[in-house]
Amino acid sequence: MQWPASLDYGTQRYPAHVARRLKVLNATTWCGVLLAFGFALSDLLDRRLWPLAMINIVVGLLLAAVPLMHRFGETAGALAYGLISYTAIFVICFMLGTDSGMQVQYLAIAAGAVLVFGPERIGLIALFGSVGIVLFIALELLAPADTGLLSPSFMLGNFLACIIGTSAILLAIVFYAVRETSRAEALAQREYRRSETLLANIMPVPVAERLKISPGIIADGFDDASILFADMAGFTARASGMPPMEVIRFLNEAFTAFDQLVEQHGLEKIKTTGDGYMVVSGIPLVRSDHLEALAAFALEMREVAASIAAQNGDPVAIRIGMACGPVVAGVVGTHKFFYDVWGDAVNMASRMESTGVSGQIQASQEVYERLAGQFIWEPRGTIDVKGKGRMPTWFLIDRHEAAEDGCFRELES
C-alpha cells in the first residue's frame, strides 16, 4: 500500500509492521485536525459558539503535534492522541449535551486502539477501552441531554454526523483489519509453499513429512540398497584456471541434468560435494529393483556428462563408482540439518569411484554378480581397495540387450 508522504512523518525509524500502525495513527490524526478546524470555522459564525470554536482550535493544534510524539516511542503518539481525543469529546459533549451524539466517538477510538497499539499490547488496549467506556457512561449520567447551545436542527445534524462518522470509522477499521489478515495469510501460504519446496529439495519427501510431524532424530536401517558416487575427473585442477562464473555454470548445467535423471529413475540424490555427486537407490522407499535402476541411471549419467563436456569443449570425463548392501540412513543435526547414508556399502561405493577410471563405471564384485545377466561387463582385474585389501572389480559397459548378438558376453581386458 502506497501512503502519502505526509503520513510517513516520524515512522521511518521503526520496523515495517510498527510503521504501518503509526501511519494509521497519522492518518487518523490528520482527519481529526481537519474536522476540528472545520468545526471551529463553523462555530466562529455564531458568537455564542466562540468558546466551542476556541476548544476546537486548541484540539486541532494538539492533534497536529501528535506525529511529533513518535520520537519518544511507538506508543507515545497513540497515548497522546487518546488523551487529547478523550478529553475533547468529554468537554464538548458536556457543553452541547448527550443528544449531540459526541459520546459514541469513544467506541471508534477504543476500536482503533487495537490497530495503533498492536494486538500484543492487550493490557494497554484493555485500559484504553475501559477508560472510554467509563467516560461514555459518565456523560450519560452527568451531562444534560441538551444544553440549548445549538438549535434543534444543528443538534440533530451534529448527532447524525457523529453516528455516521463513527460507523464509517468502525467499518474502515474492520475492513483494514480483515484486509491485513488476508494479506498476512496469503503471505504465510506463499512462505509455507516455499519452505515446503525447499525442504523437499534438501531431503526425501517421506523423510521431510516425518520430520514435520515429529522433529528430532530420524534413523532407519535398510537391509539392501545401492549407492553411487560420481566425480568429474580432473575437474578440480582444471577449474583453478577457469573464471568462477564459468566453473559454476558448468557444474550447474551438469548437476541439473543429473537431477533430472535421478527423478526419472525414481532415485534419491543425497548430496553434492564440490564436483562430486552421490545417489542412492532403494532409500528411503524400498524397491526390489534398486540395483538395476541405479545401473541404468549410471549409464545415462555417463552419456549426459560426455555430452555436456563435448558441448562446452571440455574433455573432462566423469568417474563413477557403485556398490550395494546394508546401510543406515537418517537426518543429522538440528541446525542446517541434512539427510545422509552410512555403512560399509557407502564406503565401498566411494572407493569404487576414487579408484576408478575416467569415463568408466566401476562396480564391486557383489554388484556384478547380481547384475551379470542384465548388463554387459568388462573385468578390470584385482585392485587394492583401502580398508578391504585386494579385490576384483568390474566396469559396467552397457545394457545386456545392446550386445550385437543379444546374448551376455564379457569383454576380455
Q: In the chain, what is the straight-line distance between the N-terminal and C-terminal CA atoms, in Å?
A: 73
Supply the pLDDT for residue 235: 74
Whether the predicted pLDDT of 403 surpasses 50: no
Q: Higher model confidence: residue 202 or residue 78?
A: 78
The neighbouring-strand residues paired with 269 are: 279
Q: Residue ranges per domain, the chain?
A: 5-195, 215-399
Region 383-390: mean pLDDT is: 87
pTM listed for this prediction: 0.57
> In the structure, what pLDDT confidence band is assigned to residue 409 with cuts at 50, 70 and 90?
very low
Percent of the chain, pLDDT > 90? Answer: 34
Supply the pLDDT for residue 200: 67
Range 132-136, long-range pairs (CB < 8 A, 24+ positions): 132/86, 132/106, 132/107, 133/106, 135/86, 135/89, 135/90, 135/103, 135/106, 136/103, 136/104, 136/106, 136/107
Cell 513429512, residue located: 209
Supply the pLDDT for residue 4: 58
Question: Under CATH, what is the fold of the domain 215-399?
Answer: Alpha-Beta Plaits (3.30.70)
pLDDT tens sequence across 33-56: 888 898 889 888 888 888 989 999
Whether the predicted pLDDT of 76 surpasses 60: yes
Supply the pLDDT for residue 320: 94
